[in-house]
A = this chain, B = another copy of it.
Amino acid sequence: MKYTAQNKAELLLEQKKVSAVYQDICRQGLRLDLSRGKPSAEQLDLSTEMLAYPRDKADCYLDGADGRNYGLTYGLPAMQRFFSDLTGIAPGQIVVGGNSSLSLMYDIIAHAVQFGFARSSRPWGKEERIRFLCPAPGYDRHFAITELFGFELVSIPMTPTGPDMDLVEAAVKDDPTVKGIWCVPMYSNPTGVTYAPDTVRRLAEMPTAAPDFLVMWDNAYALHNFEEPGDELRPIFEDAKAAGHEDRVFYFTSTSKITFAGSGVAMVAASEANLKLLRPALNIRTIGYDKLNQIRHLHFLKDKEHTLLHMRRHAAVIKRKFEILLSVLDSELAGLGVAEWTRPHGGYFVSMEVPQGCAAEVHRLCCEAGVVLTPAGATFPYGKDPKDSNLRLAPSYPSDEEVESAARVLCCAVRLAALTKLLAQGE
């Protein structure tokens, strides 16, 4: 029965019951963690075979190059082709990086600040003011990069089809200080939303007052379906090219959540005009990224087909964790009218909405009971959720039993926080 339909006496009785359960949990000395989108050891084990590559000296040679030595700053041609196969982007538009797509994003923003890109009239660092659109709830590490560089973060509400495009279009139309937008277009962090075709098309086509407006397209979960067929993402580069806006898009992805989270291979794709500006700096910054790790990946993942087979093994593990989490939420919270949560088809996150003003309290209650959650507000620019209602849940890392225990603690905390709020309102 909905809490909101209960009278004060009923609520007090329920609070007493839930409090007792919570006290009981606190005495268990739990140490659980639902805070970060990390693959579990069980998932990492799926790639153990990759450790064996390159097996010998001969394996280190590819495309006529010695992968052990300096050189090939934009990546092994075979690795560019591999990522081209995965993304549908031409190999020549792809720069293969190190182990972190986040670093590539940082470097692209740093490059824009220091030097500017294709259509910049000057380096962004010379502008009085830079604003950047942050679909929220969204990815805290994205927001942190643009905050570090002193940009003003502009929150754009997420909808079930992606960022609210009416608001995006309005924000970019006349204001040349709005220089870009962060996007996780598939199985978005944390809502799990995949951008609708129309959202992608509008992002590619919309007129922007800033000629060098950037779409930071972090397609981290491109292959991370729970079931086949997964969501489909409209290819943004094609729309951008058709609209004459190819210079707008920087496309990132990596194998961090395909092979090893700390030892994957990342890539960035961009227009030829932007690559022309990027390559000289890249050639000065490094004599090449780690090509043996590229070879390791090529031997293990081979091509898109094999990679998709490999991703089914990930899906089996991670889908199970999501099902456990969702089934606890369903059984403990459904019908109470105090929380809503997403049911993504892929990715690493569930996004939960609790009553306004309760997210920080739920977080606190969970922490005290030994369950680490992503801090309330983290999914919003500056770490501030204006409604204090969103929580990001990441069930991938803990064991099945831990996910279940953590979910039960969370539900108890949500009930308790909601009851406290309802009772306070009634006074």
Residues of A within 8 A of B (CB): 36, 38-39, 41, 44-45, 47-48, 51, 54-57, 59-60, 66-71, 98-100, 102-103, 106, 110, 113-114, 125, 141, 144-145, 148-149, 256, 260-263, 280-281, 284-293
Contact = CB atoms under 8 A, between A and B. Distances in A.
Given A110-B114, A281-B148, A102 B286 contact: yes
A67 to B, nearest CB: 7
Contacts of A36: 70
14 contacts: A44-B69, A47-B68, A51-B292, A67-B262, A98-B98, A98-B290, A99-B290, A106-B284, A125-B125, A144-B284, A262-B288, A262-B289, A262-B290, A262-B291
A286 B286 CA distance: 17
* Tally of this chain's copies: 2
Given A51-B60, A98-B98, A261-B287, 18 more contacts: A38-B70, A48-B56, A48-B57, A51-B56, A67-B262, A68-B263, A70-B256, A100-B285, A100-B286, A102-B287, A103-B286, A110-B110, A110-B114, A114-B114, A114-B149, A260-B292, A262-B288, A263-B291
Contacts of A261: 68-70, 287
Contacts of A287: 100, 102, 141, 261-262
Contacts of A149: 114
A285 B69 contact: no
Contacts of A69: 38-39, 41, 44, 260-262
Contact of A148 (B100, B103, B284): B284
Contacts of A285: 100, 102-103, 106, 145
A289 B99 CA distance: 7
A267 to B, nearest CB: 15
Contacts of A145: 284-285
Contacts of A281: 148
Nearest to A100: B286
A125 to B, nearest CB: 6
A387 B157 CA distance: 63
